[in-house]
């Protein structure tokens, strides 16, 4: 007897819809900020690649907030991806595909005319704020766009070119410094608001979504006043910036140092560059800056700059100062993918040991028992829940308790025999976009079809549910419900809830303000 996987019926319907859409004419030309562009049309799907959303951030514009697009005359061909932002080269992309001039985005749409108003999905890639690109083949819109969404994938400055703070930069701006990569994301979202209707998109239904450090960025925008009104739904996987006690987070994990600390890091980095002034630093080649960053391993990242990021998300939400939208957030069952490094284990153990909550300490020891064999130790799940699960769970609680819109939570649990402890970090990407690195099985296709439908529904309505889909129950403080995404997707109470509660109590005992 052949097995019928849940979601195959959905997959069949999607194929029929895609086939019907392929017969429609697609948008080939668009008038956007800067001028007129021509995309590529194939089988009813239009793609526009390498669209500028800001001026090249080079020369005097290095380490400045994004400036307006430089206009062009005639029709600009949009059939080639722009180079990715300069980053450590690991074979993909190749060196000639990297450049400091990198503030471009890509659009996929199957809308027949600009009068359509399809939900918009804006993808913010991950990569630890040092790597990644807007045009990785796994994130192409060849599946999402024919199924009803307009997909936009954006670039943002990385590493030292995207996240350097320095006293000279602060004085020059008159406000703060750093977070240039985040300002790039905001500029891209403003571009979407101004232009996405030309591609059949609805600027009042924009969903930002990202994974890993992209999820971190999504969560920061949820608390950023500068991003107010630029998106109406937020979806994050694998990472979120909601920490109960920033003082306990070690430097190599600190997502939000205060500006003064980030400026000191920037001063030390200038010394590593061998320069004593901002002008001299701007005269260096981007490759030199990248090489020094790689060798020095300077800790550059997002900071509370007082302009874009004005405080910790935890405090901003508690004060009611956040962008109140529906959220859909989650993580994978084996986010660590391996036993965490000893330095992180020692830090985590020291945080737990310093807690005054002996009962919570005992609960953690019982929920996450250690063994001598690191491959079977529950340590990997303790790390997952401390570093990934707890911030995401905290965000869902804050939104459901303090916001006017719902929170939806998921646990991604699709994995093969090579992942015996669960799904690894970022393992959901191929299922979200429907693009797999190797030929998918029928089961993979069915799960992907289901997830794509949930994501598109959420972009369209702020609710992932729809006809024929397993019911995804909203999260709240009482139910603690989550969708387990697997080959038998279903809603249930969060399976790791006891551990999350114990870890939450440990941190609260060390932070009287909580």
What residues does each domain of the chain span? 8-509
CA-nearest of 66, 142, 150 to 104 is 66
On the question of pLDDT at 282 being above 60, the answer is yes
On the question of pLDDT at 203 being above 50, the answer is yes
pLDDT band at residue 345, thresholds of 50, 70 and 90?
confident
On the question of pLDDT at 25 being above 70, the answer is no
Quickly list DSSP for 73-122. SSEEE--SPPPEEP---SSSS-GGGEES---EEEEEE--SSTT--EEEEE
pLDDT of the residue at 13: 46
pLDDT of the residue at 95: 63
Q: 135-184: per-residue pLDDT in tens?
A: 999 999 999 999 999 999 999 999 999 999 999 999 999 999 999 999 99
On the question of pLDDT at 298 being above 80, the answer is yes
pLDDT band at residue 509, thresholds of 50, 70 and 90?
confident
pLDDT of the residue at 374: 60
Higher pLDDT, 88 or 27: 27
b/e sequence 224-239, b meaning 16+ C-beta within 10 Å: bebbeebbbbbbbbbb
Q: Is 112 exposed, middle or buried (0-12, 13-18, 19+ CB in 10 A)?
A: middle
pLDDT of the residue at 371: 78
- Is residue 466 within 8 A of residue 486, CB to CB? The reply is no
CA-nearest of 86, 99, 102, 97 to 53 is 102
CA-nearest of 508, 478, 480, 505 to 495 is 480
pLDDT of the residue at 455: 98
Please give the span between the terminal C-alpha atoms of the chain, in angstroms, as a whole number: 57
On the question of pLDDT at 245 being above 80, the answer is no
Query: Where are any strands of DSSP class E within 26-80?
Result: 29-32, 35-38, 40-42, 45-52, 75-77
pLDDT of the residue at 21: 44
On the question of pLDDT at 309 being above 50, the answer is yes
CA atoms of 255 and 243, how far apart (whole Å): 9
pLDDT of the residue at 451: 98
pLDDT of the residue at 348: 79
Across all residues in the chain, what is the average pLDDT? 90
Three-state SS across 306-368?
CCCCCCCHHHHHHCCCCCCCCEEEEEECECCCCCCCHHHHHHHHHHHHCCCCHHHHHHHHHHC
pLDDT band at residue 257, thresholds of 50, 70 and 90?
confident
User: Quick one: CA torsion of 278, 82, 235, 46, rounded to 10 degrees?
Assistant: 150
Distances (CA, A) of 280 to 17, 66, 163: 57, 21, 18
Higher pLDDT, 355 or 443: 443
On the question of pLDDT at 254 being above 60, the answer is no
Average pLDDT over residues 387-408: 96
pLDDT of the residue at 91: 58
For residue 470, the 8-state DSSP code is: P
pLDDT band at residue 22, thresholds of 50, 70 and 90?
very low
Ramachandran quadrant class, 447 (left: phi over 0; alpha: psi -120 to 50; beta: rest): alpha
- Is residue 226 within 8 A of residue 207, CB to CB? The reply is no
Average pLDDT over residues 264-268: 96
pLDDT band at residue 7, thresholds of 50, 70 and 90?
low
Higher pLDDT, 210 or 417: 210
Q: 455-473: per-residue pLDDT in tens?
A: 999 999 999 999 999 999 9
On the question of pLDDT at 28 being above 60, the answer is yes
What percent of the chain shows pLDDT beyond 90?
A: 77
On the question of pLDDT at 127 being above 80, the answer is yes
On the question of pLDDT at 246 being above 60, the answer is no
Q: Quick one: fold of 8-509? A: Rossmann fold (3.40.50)
On the question of pLDDT at 3 being above 70, the answer is no
Question: What pTM does this model have?
Answer: 0.93
pLDDT of the residue at 170: 98
Would you say the C-alpha torsion 226, 231, 236, 242 has a positive or negative sign? positive
């Amino acid at each position: 007897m052949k097995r019928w996987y849940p979601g195959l019926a959905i997959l069949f319907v999607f194929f029929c819809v895609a086939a019907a859409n392929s017969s429609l004419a697609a948008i080939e030309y668009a008038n956007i900020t800067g001028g007129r562009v021509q995309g590529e049309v194939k089988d009813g799907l239009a793609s526009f690649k390498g669209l500028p959303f800001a001026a090249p951030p080079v020369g005097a514009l290095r380490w400045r907030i994004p400036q307006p697009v430089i206009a062009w005359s005639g029709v600009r061909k949009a059939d080639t991806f722009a180079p990715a932002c300069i980053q450590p080269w690991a074979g993909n992309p190749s060196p000639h595909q990297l450049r400091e001039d990198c503030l471009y985005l890509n659009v996929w749409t199957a809308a027949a005319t600009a009068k359509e108003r399809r939900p918009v999905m804006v993808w913010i890639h991950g990569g630890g704020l040092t790597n990644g690109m807007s045009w990785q083949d796994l994130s192409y819109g060849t599946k999402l766009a024919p199924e009803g969404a307009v997909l936009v994938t954006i670039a943002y400055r990385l590493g030292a070119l995207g996240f350097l703070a320095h006293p000279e930069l602060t004085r020059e701006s008159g406000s703060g410094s750093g977070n240039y990569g985040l300002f790039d994301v905001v500029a891209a979202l403003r571009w979407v608001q101004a232009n996405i209707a030309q591609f059949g998109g609805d600027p009042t239904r924009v969903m930002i979504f990202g994974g890993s450090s992209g999820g971190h960025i999504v969560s920061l925008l949820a608390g950023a006043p500068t991003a107010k009104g630029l998106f109406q739904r937020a979806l994050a996987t694998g990472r979120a910036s909601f920490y109960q006690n920033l003082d306990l987070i070690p430097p190599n994990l600190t997502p939000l140092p205060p500006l003064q600390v980030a400026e000191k890091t920037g001063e030390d980095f200038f010394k590593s560059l061998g320069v004593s002034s901002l002008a001299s630093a701007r005269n260096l080649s981007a490759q030199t800056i990248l090489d020094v960053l790689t060798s020095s391993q300077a800790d550059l990242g997002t900071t509370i700059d007082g302009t874009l990021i004005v405080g910790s998300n935890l405090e901003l939400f508690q004060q009611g100062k956040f962008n109140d939208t529906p959220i859909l957030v989650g993580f994978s069952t084996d986010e660590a993918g391996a036993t965490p490094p000893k330095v992180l284990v020692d830090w985590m153990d020291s945080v737990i040991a310093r807690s005054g909550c002996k009962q919570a300490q005992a609960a953690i020891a019982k929920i996450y028992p250690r063994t001598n064999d690191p491959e079977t130790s529950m340590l990997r799940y303790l790390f997952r829940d401390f570093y990934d699960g707890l911030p995401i769970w905290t965000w869902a609680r804050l939104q459901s308790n303090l916001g006017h819109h719902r929170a939806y939570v998921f646990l991604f649990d699709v994995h093969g025999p090579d992942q015996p402890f669960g799904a690894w970090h970022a393992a959901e990407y191929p299922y979200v976009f429907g693009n797999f690195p190797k030929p998918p099985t029928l089961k993979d296709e069915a799960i992907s079809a289901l997830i794509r439908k949930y994501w598109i529904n959420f972009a369209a309505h702020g609710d992932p549910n729809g006809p024929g889909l397993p019911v995804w129950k909203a999260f709240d403080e009482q139910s603690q419900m989550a969708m387990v995404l697997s080959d038998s997707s279903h809603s249930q109470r969060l399976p790791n809830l006891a551990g999350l509660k114990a870890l939450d109590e440990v941190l609260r005992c060390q932070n009287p303000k909580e």
